[in-house]
Structure 1
Amino acid sequence: MKYKALIDQMTLEEKASLMSGKDFWQTQDIERLGIKSLFLADGPHGIRRQEAAADQLGLNPGIPATCFPTAATVANSWNVNLGEKVGEFLGEEAVSQQVHVLLGPGVNMKRNPLCGRNFEYFSEDPYHAGKLAASYVRGIQSQGISACIKHFAANNQEERRMSIDTVVDERTLREIYLTAFEIAVKEGQTKTVMSSYNRLNGEYTNENQHLMKDILRGEWSYKGVVVTDWGGSNDRIAGLLAGNELEMPTSAGQTNREIVDAIHSGKLEEKTLDENVDRLLDLIFTASEIYEKPYKSDFDVEKHHRVAQKVSEESIILLKNEDKLLPLKFGKKVAVIGDFAKDARYQGGGSSFVNPTILDHTMDCFEESGIVSIGFERGFERYGKKNAELISKACSLAEKADVVFLYIGLDEAAEAEGSDRKSIKLPDNQIELLNALHEVNPNIVAILSCGSVVEMPWIDKVKCLLHGYLGGQAGARAILRVLSGDVNPSGKLAESYPLRYEDTPSYHNFPGNEASVEYREGMYIGYRYFDTAGVDVLFPFGFGLSYTTFEYSNIRVDKDGVTFKLTNTGDRAGMEVVQLYVGCQSNQIFRPKKELKGFDKIFINAGETKTVAIPFDDKTFRYFNVLTNQWEIEEAEYDIMIGASSVDIRLQGSIYIEGTGAEAPYDQEKLPSYFTGNARHVSKEEFEMLLGRKVPASAWDRTKPLGYTDTIEQCQYAKGFTGRLIYHSIVFAHWVLWKMGKRSSANLIMMSIYYMPFRGIARLTGGIVNMQMLDGILLMVNGRFIKGLRHVWKERKKKIKAQKVLS
């Protein structure tokens, strides 16, 4: 152990105390030994260190920080160098706010477009997400602090995220849901990993020995710290045995005592505790070194704002450009319509919400863009309420214009931590506005602002579609620079856009049933499903237009990789995202038709030709064999495809690869859906064949009393009137807040109360309610109100008395 001499000086109680937070955001310190506290803060796309009540978990306004584009936006840049630059600036701002661990980036896969947190995640492809995540980590940690990749693992929905059991087969887990984390750990060298709330194949992730010890620490040789998501610790001793060092937030000493008692009883070896302490100390000392040297207490606000703008510009996607209406010709009169033009929609909601240092709005940026605006109309109510008068005024303005810039999208409450979306449609009032505008002026340029997939049955009624995703505090100006032609768009989609939500492979299995969600589609998510099953999409993975054109030629494939020529055949400089896909010609092992195995972004002047090389790596030909329980390579001929998107393959070659000789693990006759790729309607029996075991019960057991791991939502079935009253009160409060327009507060109820397990009452109240008091609350909920109330009162008095003794 690196810090054995220091650990030997600690009492057992001191060692145990380091394993949980000092408060909501800081780790415990031991002053006599020179061990300082670390400060952890949210920050996937900007620092959220709260100005007020920093010892509380709430969503109070943060100290102003640069709000960079969200991960879903930057992913569309396909530029790992840009990702690293974002990380560097995030790290610099974290240092200026004395933050030691920045809680991001989010690395989870976009399994389903309804996931409410998709705006925080990079991609539907693990290779793509992993490369971007690793670049963020390198950038953040170049400033001397720690990044924290999250949420490990298979956390792909918000509904019941603190209790749901993700049921997924081993191969899919490895190839789809862990590969991005593997790349971030190995290539990014992240110092911290955050475990997710959910169960994975029956065990909470931070207690899951297979996930945490066999894979993370064993196969990936991870030496850093694992921290729970806030309130995500279930059994503290099981967590330590799995190598989960840090429980956040504070338990007010309760789990410290559990650790000490476990060592005294022999349930936990002190050696195991020491190993956990050693890894945490390494993080404490390395991440706090930066503050022992002279450092800037502020940062260049304007410079960081300009960088945020550059990132947004490179991430914007041109999805449609009929009649080459864009870039806008000089002198065209533009009517600007849409509430998002007045108040930009630039980030998501929840723990990632950033208080921006500067905020650009479209109407404030027109003069410098050179675009002639003849006026602005709101056109629609932001949160979906219909208003015929707004539509009428918008149409009157549109009639006078050559072109309409229509700013549409999803509101802040639609995409937020803690709740999933109900549909992937735009609000009806926005569609009504679009239909009305089309009647008076067909030259509509739609500017879309949202962080996740939406259906577009209205696409034929717009001439152009520019998707800005959530572009951060400078996104509004960046969009105008693309519209005017000052910037040539170069973003490409990091997720597929289906024609209908019903076409998505997880449609029948999202968000699962009460107790579990079954990943029956296996590895066939996103383009892996659409391209293999031959399902048409609106926009494919990797798609994006430019104001110039590119020609691909002269492909060469050898054992090291692929090279080819790329020529800019247009009349202006631009950047092209080139994509390497690999497909196996053998049918012995089921696979998607093609999988992304490399990419690059190339700047190229008009008329110029460049030679592009994309190397093969250890992930190019591998698959996970469930018989050998390791990565293998199938001996076969492989198709090597270079594309401008997953369906726009420009060049193709092949190469014969010698395999590792492992036995094929599957019986084709028993897994027909997986061998054909038609995995949207997989039966329970076929899924169990893939799993190699029976699926667990997917419904709650309503016959048992409610316990620690049951959720507040389950109070609707409680035996006691108290429990049912709690449930209906929460539902009513949510309904009232939603009707009042306080949708963020309504979402907060769902996130922090409705789906929370009962143990969260103790884990998230900073010791106000301990587990003994929680026992009394459970008695009340389960129909023994008087006994439970007495128990709560008795335990509260004991806690107060103990606190007085300590003080």
Structure 2
Amino acid sequence: MSNPHDLESRLESRIDKAIGALDLEAKVRLLTGATNLDLHPEPAIDLARVVTSDGPTGVRGARFTGGRVACQLPNTTLLAQHWDTAVAAEVGALLAEEAAAQRVHVVLGPTVNLHRTPLSGRLYEEFSEDPLLTGALATAYINALQEHGIAATLKHLVANEAETDRKTVNSLVDERTLREVYLLPFEMAVADANPWAVMAAYNQVNGTPATEHTGLITRLLKGEWGYEGLVMSDWHAATSTAGTADAGLDLIMPGPAGPWGEKLVAAVRGGEVPESAIDEKVRRLLRLADRVGAFGTERQWPSEGPTPDSPQRRAALRRLAAGGMTVLVNRASALPLPAEAKVAVIGRHATETVTQGAGSAEVRPPHVVSVADGLSQALGADRVSVVDGVEVRADPLTAAEGSLRDPETGEFGMRVTTRDGDGEVIESRHVGWSALFTRESPWVRSAATIELTAEVVLEETARMQVGVRGRGEWTFSAPGHYERVRLERVDDAGEVLRVPHRTVTLNVEPGARITAVATAEPDERLIGLAARVAPPPPAVAIGAATRAAREADVAVVVVGLTPEQETEEVDKITLALPGEQDALVAAVAAAAKRTVVVVNAATPVLMPWLDRVDAVLWAGLPGQEAGAAVAAALTGEVEPAGRLVTTFPAADGDGPVWSPVPVQGETSYGEGIAVGYRGWRAGPTEPRFWFGHGLGYTEWAYGEAELTVVDDTIRSVTVEVTNTGGRAGREVVQVYWQPEGEPVRLVGWTGVDLEAGRTTSVDVTVDARVLRRWRDGSWQRLPLTGEVLVARGLGDIRITLPAAH
């Protein structure tokens, strides 16, 4: 067997030789992306193209719209609600297989920024509000991904906890808070998993852009922590030449343009940047390329594997989604649903189930199982009635896959025709999606006009919203309708994620043709067609829902957020459900024998109707198998044993941190280390649901507990746990420490599966990294004072032990 040290020596020798074979221009060329997602190959040194892809919800591939079909996983907070590193590892391995199937070398994840405020738009792809839980789950994910030769990218370094003005905001964070809270997940992952890439954030940290932060990149990450992987910029985050190069940034994305290139060559020759720094960057790039099989002998990709819609994938995704769902309320054992019950399934989220957030993490799934379809399949169509709900969106979004077809070929998608200034056809193509990103479609750039045409796929005449999406001058026609409209850029977000739109509501027959013509625009843009069944007016929808609820044994109302609220680049302004969903739930609860609410959202929402319903299932954004997973959880086929990973406020404005909006360009992390549940525990108000809360489908009793303390340090907690209910279930034993004069903090947890009536002893190992504090420029052990709490969430503390003996 080869000695690892010898292998490393041989690699470094090969890298030395490769660097020596390149001139300055060739070396610098490698340090900026070749395209939006690819890196430059260099045949002279046997360096192949390295391909990256966004990855938190699935391996998206190279295209933002209409790309390759891929597995759409449950969102990150839903996966994190398992509180299980084995689940995180399973996800990492699954993503590695998906990446290999697409010949992707580098997955741009995981995201380990924290849930600092519930208004942040991107919480759906972050693990939790706790640094220890986040770091442990990320570590397992990275190890599993990289064991299969696919690089993980730890992001976004650091203090990137909101989307508002994220590219310019200055995050003001004291050193203790940075070290103990926001850097801890990065520290854990680097120490325990060695991610092969790290991504620097957009924002400034204490006045210095993260991409130019010598203290964070060179002194801390590469120096103190000994990190020897590659540090890349977030997309378009790097703007300076010498500043980024001298700070230790190794790769600028995307390419081919950027602040390096010829400017960096000039900076080296002008003495601003030493050439040795360029060599070090190339060294780290070649280390990454070697690890993923792109330097030297190219890796052999698998010829086949599970497809995104294979039974293997579907079963795994269904189980991962259902098992992470959380039972928030379950009065009189309303759940699981009683056998043979007649069920009314109500709400727009039941038929248009939201499965992912918006942004760079979006993937194109092979299908989406709606909650209505999932329950109908699980219970039998004769037991289920489906009733539409109130409107939940302001933006109808791009027409769903399968809702439009090309009038020439009959394939799902649309016909795109480009014309010159004289109206002559340049090209006509089928596009298998209902949107087009001009950056990814260079064949449309020379056109004077771009025509989008499609036929609506319907079984019968329906009232529909149809229209156009995207900036520009449009003419739009549908049967009985014609208009011209100018759509301007939306001010509060990027060109891709928040797109202007115009729709009209019409009676549309099956096969009706809609046509939209956009005039040329100088900049890149996303354009597309909108088409969806129009929700009825609120009074009509609520009336139909209450009638259905009266006739059923159980009303299942599905409510939630949409990608308008859970999106990259935009933060929320309220936790209230959009539209008249609260009124819908209240009306159904007043009419139904039993009411179960399924919340289709990744992040907290307000629940003014909570005391009037019988059960609430927090379903997250469940991915492509959404409806099947919700059905499995509601029927008890899979126990929804999830525990919350963020604290749920009872009202807007509650909690230690609320607004994500910078003040005069600055966001002060003034709460210090008292983020999330830590601040709630010391604050004046109670949350709606505590961090760690989750009921599952059985009951648990806690017996004797014992601390193991060595050298005045808590090493572990042992507790006796009994499943006192009538069903097998999973418990998550959580251990917190409340030192005197310090915020409470999670110090360890262990999950256990136990049959009804059984008792077991559970050992919870305590991570020493949360037993210390940063003071006067170094780590110090916190004095062993205060209490240790053994809990089922901070709202259900079962045992309190003195920390000191």
> Is the structural similarity TM-score above 0.5?
yes
Kindly indicate whether the alpha-carbon contact (under 8 Å) linking 2:393 and 2:579 is maintained by their aligned counterparts in 1: no
Give 1:61 shift: 2.2
1:548 to 665, 683, 698: 698
Q: Where in structure 2 are the equivalents of 1:58-207 lying within 5 Å? A: 59-207=64-212
**Partner Cα separation in structure 2 for residue 151 and residue 256 of structure 1:** 24
**Partner Cα separation in structure 2 for residue 304 and residue 45 of structure 1:** 14
1:295 to 282, 302, 325: 302
1:370 alignment partner AA: L
**Partner Cα separation in structure 2 for residue 178 and residue 108 of structure 1:** 9
Give the match for residue 582 of structure 1: 737
Identity of aligned residues (%): 32
Give the match for residue 363 of structure 1: 372
Q: Determine if the alignment matches structure 1 residue 45 to structure 2 residue 57.
A: yes
Q: Determine if the alignment matches structure 1 residue 491 to structure 2 residue 642.
A: yes
Give 1:297 shift: 4.2
Kindly indicate whether the alpha-carbon contact (under 8 Å) linking 1:204 and 1:234 is maintained by their aligned counterparts in 2: no
1:632 alignment partner AA: Q
Closer, same or farther: CA 294–405 of 1 in aligned 2, 3 Å: closer
Kindly indicate whether the alpha-carbon contact (under 8 Å) linking 1:506 and 1:521 is maintained by their aligned counterparts in 2: yes
**Partner Cα separation in structure 2 for residue 330 and residue 254 of structure 1:** 64
Give the match for residue 592 of structure 2: 441
Give the match for residue 758 of structure 2: 608
Q: Determine if the alignment matches structure 1 residue 233 to structure 2 residue 242.
A: no
Q: Which deviates further from its counterpart, 377-386 or 142-151?
A: 377-386
Closer, same or farther: CA 23–609 of 1 in aligned 2, 3 Å: same
Kindly indicate whether the alpha-carbon contact (under 8 Å) linking 1:115 and 1:420 is maintained by their aligned counterparts in 2: yes
**Partner Cα separation in structure 2 for residue 273 and residue 541 of structure 1:** 46
2:683 to 525, 533, 544: 533
Q: Determine if the alignment matches structure 1 residue 340 to structure 2 residue 357.
A: no
Structure 1's consecutive aligned runs of 4 or more residues displaced over 4 angstroms after TM superposition are none
SS in 1 for 2:798: strand
Give 1:479 shift: 1.2
Give the match for residue 722 of structure 1: none
1:370-396 deviation digits (Å, cap 9, x = unpaired): 366341111212316853212221122
Give the match for residue 639 of structure 1: 787
1:598 alignment partner AA: G
Kindly indicate whether the alpha-carbon contact (under 8 Å) linking 1:555 and 1:652 is maintained by their aligned counterparts in 2: no
**Partner Cα separation in structure 1 for residue 225 and residue 314 of structure 2:** 37
Kindly indicate whether the alpha-carbon contact (under 8 Å) linking 2:596 and 2:615 is maintained by their aligned counterparts in 1: yes
SS in 2 for 1:310: helix
1:49 alignment partner AA: G
Closer, same or farther: CA 308–118 of 1 in aligned 2, 3 Å: same
2:651 to 500, 504, 507: 500
Closer, same or farther: CA 435–253 of 1 in aligned 2, 3 Å: closer
Query: Which one has more relative contact order, counting CA pairs under 8 Å at least 6 apart?
Result: 2
Matched residue count: 642
**Partner Cα separation in structure 2 for residue 223 and residue 166 of structure 1:** 26
1:746-795 deviation digits (Å, cap 9, x = unpaired): xxxxxxxxxxxxxxxxxxxxxxxxxxxxxxxxxxxxxxxxxxxxxxxxxx
1:103-160 deviation digits (Å, cap 9, x = unpaired): 1111101111111101111101100111111111112112101011111110011111
Give the match for residue 631 of structure 2: 480
Give the match for residue 36 of structure 1: 48
**Partner Cα separation in structure 1 for residue 799 and residue 254 of structure 2:** 52
Q: Which deviates further from its counterpart, 480-489 or 241-250?
A: 480-489
Q: Which deviates further from its counterpart, 132-141 or 635-644?
A: 635-644
CA RMSD of aligned residues (A): 1.7
| TM superposition score normalised by structure 2 | 0.78
SS in 2 for 1:148: strand
Give the match for residue 313 of structure 2: 304
SS in 2 for 1:596: strand
Kindly indicate whether the alpha-carbon contact (under 8 Å) linking 1:316 and 1:468 is maintained by their aligned counterparts in 2: yes
Give 1:298 shift: 4.1
Give the match for residue 229 of structure 2: 224
**Partner Cα separation in structure 2 for residue 514 and residue 418 of structure 1:** 19
Closer, same or farther: CA 153–237 of 1 in aligned 2, 3 Å: same
1:324 to 300, 321, 333: 333
Closer, same or farther: CA 252–630 of 1 in aligned 2, 3 Å: same
Kindly indicate whether the alpha-carbon contact (under 8 Å) linking 1:88 and 1:143 is maintained by their aligned counterparts in 2: yes
1:292 alignment partner AA: R
Give the match for residue 385 of structure 2: 375
**Partner Cα separation in structure 2 for residue 377 and residue 294 of structure 1:** 47
Kindly indicate whether the alpha-carbon contact (under 8 Å) linking 1:408 and 1:448 is maintained by their aligned counterparts in 2: yes
2:798 to 650, 655, 664: 650
**Partner Cα separation in structure 1 for residue 320 and residue 215 of structure 2:** 38
Give the match for residue 610 of structure 2: 459
| TM superposition score normalised by structure 1 | 0.77
Closer, same or farther: CA 469–256 of 1 in aligned 2, 3 Å: same
Give the match for residue 771 of structure 1: none
**Partner Cα separation in structure 1 for residue 558 and residue 609 of structure 2:** 14
Give 1:482 shift: 1.5
Higher helix share: 1
1:11-42 deviation digits (Å, cap 9, x = unpaired): 01011111101111111121122111211111
**Partner Cα separation in structure 1 for residue 79 and residue 55 of structure 2:** 15
Give 1:534 shift: 4.3
1:464-512 deviation digits (Å, cap 9, x = unpaired): 10010111111211111111121222101000011112112123x5312
Q: Which deviates further from its counterpart, 123-132 or 323-332?
A: 323-332
**Partner Cα separation in structure 2 for residue 423 and residue 383 of structure 1:** 15
Q: Determine if the alignment matches structure 1 residue 399 to structure 2 residue 408.
A: no
Give 5+ residue unaligned stretches, structure 2. 1-11, 395-534, 710-714
Give 1:364 shift: 2.4
2:581 to 430, 449, 463: 430
**Partner Cα separation in structure 1 for residue 194 and residue 45 of structure 2:** 28
1:595 alignment partner AA: R
Closer, same or farther: CA 255–182 of 1 in aligned 2, 3 Å: same
**Partner Cα separation in structure 1 for residue 681 and residue 104 of structure 2:** 44
1:515 to 665, 669, 691: 665
Closer, same or farther: CA 616–485 of 1 in aligned 2, 3 Å: closer
Give 5+ residue unaligned stretches, structure 1. 658-807
Kindly indicate whether the alpha-carbon contact (under 8 Å) linking 1:168 and 1:518 is maintained by their aligned counterparts in 2: yes
Give 1:291 shift: 5.2
Give 1:349 shift: 0.6
Give 1:294 shift: 5.2
**Partner Cα separation in structure 2 for residue 389 and residue 635 of structure 1:** 63
Give the match for residue 26 of structure 2: 14
**Partner Cα separation in structure 2 for residue 237 and residue 298 of structure 1:** 45
**Partner Cα separation in structure 2 for residue 299 and residue 225 of structure 1:** 31
